[in-house]
Amino acid sequence: MIRVSDLWRKFGRFETLRGLSFEVPDGSAFAIIGANGAGKTTTIKVLMNILEPTQGSATVLGVDSRKLSIRELAQIGYVSENQDMPSRLTVEEYTNYLRPFYSTWDRDLERTIAKQLRLPFDRKIGNLSHGMRMKMALMCALPYRPKLLILDEPFSGLDPLVRDEFMEGLLGQAGEMTIFISSHELGEIDGVATHIAFVDEGKLLFQESMSDLTGRFREIRVILEGVATRPSDAPKEWMAMQLTGNVLTFVDTQFDEAGLRELVRSRIGNVRMIDSQPMPLRSIFTTLARAARDGSA
């Protein structure tokens, strides 16, 4: 659905994207995560042909992003937190305006989504709150049943109620569509994304399926016989290492239960107990973000 290879984008001398490469499988819910300024929005703008890459390429629906035509755009839904829509039109006027551009626009679906999202049709877009505007953007992106839905920081600034309504609207109509979502609100992605890519300073740190990711990350707690010391030859997969008395904790980024015990014993010595716990996405993200910041990722 989307293929990005060696993508670079510079703004003046500042490199926002630095050789980014990833692939989004058909039918997946692909989340691109990263801290603010990591290059998520720039990536999306390149995918939508709003920005041109400085180097490298991106293909969307099999077409070079620079050559996206109205045929492809009619199959892409786009929702962004900072989308400029005609503020002096009402919600109804704008949907009436958009409808003829999409041959697949389903009016019944439009009504269903509008009802679900509880949108005031007679209100001017400029008078909508941020949350309402996001819901409206979603409503304008779904009724034509796009093959690809691109969401750029859709949850940013939404209160929990609106967030829930937004997610219900989204998930209710997801069907077979591929969803590409950028966010740093990891809690929201946790239940949605099937695949994940982590970017930092314009570079991809990893890309894999959610199940693989959560499977290989574990928080490890090692209780030793004596006072714990930092092993000098700890493998690089062990991150965020901390010592407290005789307890050593770290994050294993390549978790393998059998291998871990052997490795811990060989590197640390007298181990009384090893405990491994699955990690929530938020913890994985913060671990990776810190490691990236410290240069150890």
Partner 1 sequence: MVWHIFKKDWKLLWVFVLAAASLHWIGSFIVFKLGMFGEETSLSMLSFWIPELAIFGSMFLIAAIVHLEAIPGTRQDWLTRPVPRGILLLEKFLFGLIAVEGPIFISSVFQGLANGFSWRSSLLAALSRVVFLLFFLVLPIFAFASITRNMTEAFIMGCGCTFILGAFLILAGSVNTWMHNTLLGVTHTGIGWIGEVFRFFLVAIAATIILGLQYYRRKTTAARLWLIGFGLLLLASTFLPWEPAFAIEERLSPNRGAGKSTQLAFEPSEEKFKSPFGLLASAESDKRRESREAAEVYLPLRIAGTGNDSILLVDRADVHLIDRSRGSYYHGLGDTFSLAREGSNPQEESLYQQIDIPAPIFRKVADESSKIRIDYSLTLFGLNKSYSLAALDGDERMPGWGWCKTALNESGTAVEVRCMEPGKGPICASIFLENSLSGARDPAVSACLSEYRLFGDRPMSDNVARFGVNLPFRDKSGLTKFPVDGSQLPHSRVVIRMYEPEDHFTRSLDIPGIKLKDWQAQ
User: What's the one-letter identity of residue 196?
Assistant: I
Rg over alpha carbons for the chain, rounded to the nearest Å, is 22
Nearer to partner 1, 136 or 292 (CB): 136
Nearer to partner 1, 49 or 253 (CB): 49
- For the bound state, the minimum distance from the C-beta of residue 73 to partner 1, rounded and expressed in Å, comes to 4
DSSP classification of residue 66? G
What are 36's two structure tokens?
Answer: 């603010």
User: What's the one-letter identity of residue 277?
Assistant: Q
CB-based contact 106:145 (threshold 8 Å): yes
- For the bound state, the minimum distance from the C-beta of residue 70 to partner 1, rounded and expressed in Å, comes to 4
- For the bound state, the minimum distance from the C-beta of residue 90 to partner 1, rounded and expressed in Å, comes to 10
What are 4's two structure tokens?
Answer: 């990005």
Nearer to partner 1, 70 or 161 (CB): 70
- For the bound state, the minimum distance from the C-beta of residue 211 to partner 1, rounded and expressed in Å, comes to 31
- For the bound state, the minimum distance from the C-beta of residue 240 to partner 1, rounded and expressed in Å, comes to 36
- For the bound state, the minimum distance from the C-beta of residue 277 to partner 1, rounded and expressed in Å, comes to 42
Q: For residue 22, what is the enclosing H or E element?
A: strand 14-24
Nearer to partner 1, 69 or 244 (CB): 69
Nearer to partner 1, 94 or 238 (CB): 94
Residue pointed to by tokens 């006027």 = 93
Q: How far is CA 27 from CA 23, 83, 148, 189, in A?
A: 12, 25, 9, 16
Nearer to partner 1, 73 or 192 (CB): 73
Nearer to partner 1, 145 or 216 (CB): 145
Which residues form the interface with partner 1 (CB under 8 A)? Answer: 45, 48-51, 70-71, 73-74, 76, 78, 80, 82-86, 88-89, 93, 97-98, 100-102, 137
Nearer to partner 1, 66 or 272 (CB): 66
Residue pointed to by tokens 């990263």 = 34
DSSP 174-223: -TT-EEEEEES-HHHHHTT-SEEEEEETTEEEEEEEHHHHHHH-EEEEEE
- For the bound state, the minimum distance from the C-beta of residue 168 to partner 1, rounded and expressed in Å, comes to 23
Listed in sequence order, the residues at least 6 apart from 98 whose beta carbon sits closer than 8 Å to its beta carbon are: 105, 140
Listed in sequence order, the residues at least 6 apart from 29 whose beta carbon sits closer than 8 Å to its beta carbon are: 174, 178, 179, 181, 192, 193, 194, 195
- For the bound state, the minimum distance from the C-beta of residue 79 to partner 1, rounded and expressed in Å, comes to 9
As a whole number of angstroms, the distance between CA 209 and CA 228 comes to: 35
CB-based contact 175:196 (threshold 8 Å): no
Asked whether the CA dihedral 45, 51, 54, 58 is positive or negative, the reply is positive
